[in-house]
């Protein structure tokens, strides 16, 4: 299923941004780790020393609690975001972390499964609404009986309303006959 189109300003602004994936935000602050990669942390989500990108991303990076003009490129950027990660291995790109790739592939599979379920549910609801509209055109407005009457559960049915006082006593009489 193709991804949703990128429509919001911020998503269009981040379109094509290349991020380097780090195991965690803490790894950016770890001078030994960054030095082993030949990188220098500059603050925020920026670093230097990579000839492809200067933007960092990590698992759990989010824009929650940030102002609109301070958003970071993340996936997803917001609840209805249609961004997704693509593996980029251009010339000079460092080796990928296998566990991070595995986590992102699991997330992509889970996201695809949930989207399929949502699309299936949407299609079912759409068909049910069309059927309800068709029936209303044919038979008039659909009226639903109330489910609760005076605090007692009453199953809504199509039969005529029977005498509320007598059905219970009739049931008790019938039940006594069955038990004796």
Q: What percent of the chain has pLDDT over 90?
A: 17
Average pLDDT, the chain: 78
Neighbours of 131 (CB within 10 A): 10
- pLDDT at position 151 is 56
Could you tell me the CA-to-CA distances from 66 to 3, 17, 37 in Å, in that order?
26, 19, 29
Rounded Cα gap, residues 103 and 22, in angstroms = 13
pLDDT at 128 over 80: yes
- pLDDT at position 167 is 72
Tokens matching residue 155: 């199953």
Q: What is the mean pLDDT of residues 156-180?
A: 70
**18 versus 93: which is more confidently predicted?**
18
Residue in the block written with tokens 């989207």: 115
């Amino acid at each position: 299923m193709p991804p949703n189109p990128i429509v919001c300003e911020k998503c269009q602004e981040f379109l094509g941004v290349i991020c380097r994936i780090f195991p965690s935000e803490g790894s950016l602050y770890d001078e030994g780790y960054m030095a082993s990669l030949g990188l220098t942390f500059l603050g925020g989500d920026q670093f230097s020393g990579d000839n492809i990108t200067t933007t960092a991303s990590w698992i759990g990076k989010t824009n929650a609690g940030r102002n609109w003009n301070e958003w970071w490129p993340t996936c997803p950027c917001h609840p209805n975001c249609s961004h997704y990660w693509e593996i980029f291995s251009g010339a000079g790109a460092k080796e990928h972390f296998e566990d991070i790739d595995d986590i992102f592939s699991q997330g992509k599979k889970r996201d695809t499964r949930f989207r399929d379920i949502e699309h299936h549910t949407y299609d079912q609801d759409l068909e049910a609404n069309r059927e309800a509209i068709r029936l209303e055109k044919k038979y008039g407005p659909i009226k639903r009986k109330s489910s609760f009457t005076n605090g007692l559960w009453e199953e809504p049915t199509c039969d005529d309303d029977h005498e509320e006082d007598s059905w219970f006593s009739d049931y008790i009489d019938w039940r006594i006959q069955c038990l004796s």
